[in-house]
Amino acid sequence: MPSMLIVDDDLHLRKLVLTYAQMESYQCREAENGEQALALLREAESDIIILDVMMPGKDGFETLGELRQFTQAPVIMLTARGEEYDKLLGFNLGADDYVPKPFSPKELMARVGAVLKRAGGQKRPAGLAFGGLTIQPEARAVTVDGKAVSLPPKEFDLLLKLAENERMVFTRDQLLDQVWGFDYFGDARTVDTHVKALREHLGPYRKLIETVWGVGYKFEYKE
């Protein structure tokens, strides 16, 4: 699962990007300024960085210059300014793309995908394994202790969403949005029904899908 660091002093904008990134299965961290971003990146690298230019303290250009000293992770710059000089400065410092504000979150995610593809970081793993349970995303195949299990499309999508985000807790509404889509008019019982059926198909691995009471569900494998 690709990881993303979102750096912006605007909380609303960070949450907007976070929502759309999680819909695309990115594992996200947030920073409200350059100092926080640099500290987080020194702890653990991210596969891609969304970096605002106009921030208090270290601005985006200064932050980019410092992070390029220890990481080559792709960087997409966000800015309310569109002058050619700013773009050239960003690219010269090592930015991979430049998105002016206001922007479409869907367009930003498309640019993220394109940048990661160029960087060779967009590939999904050929398969996920949790003991005797294996999931092959591209083939949409599942095996339980070596035996193929045929899952209905939405059950597979639900399993993949949970498994690719192991230990992340999803509310029922989040699963409705991210598995069924924003234009789906079902309710939380749809998720519960599919989880119940999915657990039946998983047999001895049914307990990997845990109910988080009062919240939703998560997937966790414990050896």
Least Cα distance to 131 among 165, 163, 167 occurs for 163
Q: In what order do the strands lie in the sheet with 133-136?
A: 128-130, 133-136, 141-144, 147-149
Buried b or exposed e, range 187-212, using 16+ CB within 10 angstroms? eeebbeebbeebbebbeebeebbeee
pLDDT score, position 122:
46
CATH class of 128-219: mainly alpha
For the record, the structure tokens of 90 come out as: 């960003």
For the record, the structure tokens of 160 come out as: 């993949």
The reply to whether CATH 3.40.50.1110 applies to domain 3-119 is: no
Compute CA distances 73 → 27, 41, 119, whole Å: 15, 10, 9
Per-residue pLDDT tens digits of the chain, which is 223 residues long: 789 999 999 999 999 999 999 988 899 999 999 999 999 998 888 999 999 998 999 999 999 989 988 888 899 999 876 666 666 777 778 888 888 888 889 989 998 988 888 776 544 556 789 999 999 887 789 999 999 999 998 899 999 999 988 888 899 888 888 788 745 556 778 899 999 999 999 999 999 999 999 899 999 998 7
Least Cα distance to 135 among 193, 209, 212 occurs for 209
Q: What is the DSSP letter of 68?
A: T
User: What span, in angstroms and rounded, lies between the C-alpha atoms of 49 and 7?
Assistant: 8
Least Cα distance to 168 among 69, 61, 23, 59 occurs for 23
- List the domain boundaries for the chain: 3-119, 128-219
pLDDT score, position 76:
93
Q: What is the DSSP letter of 204?
A: G
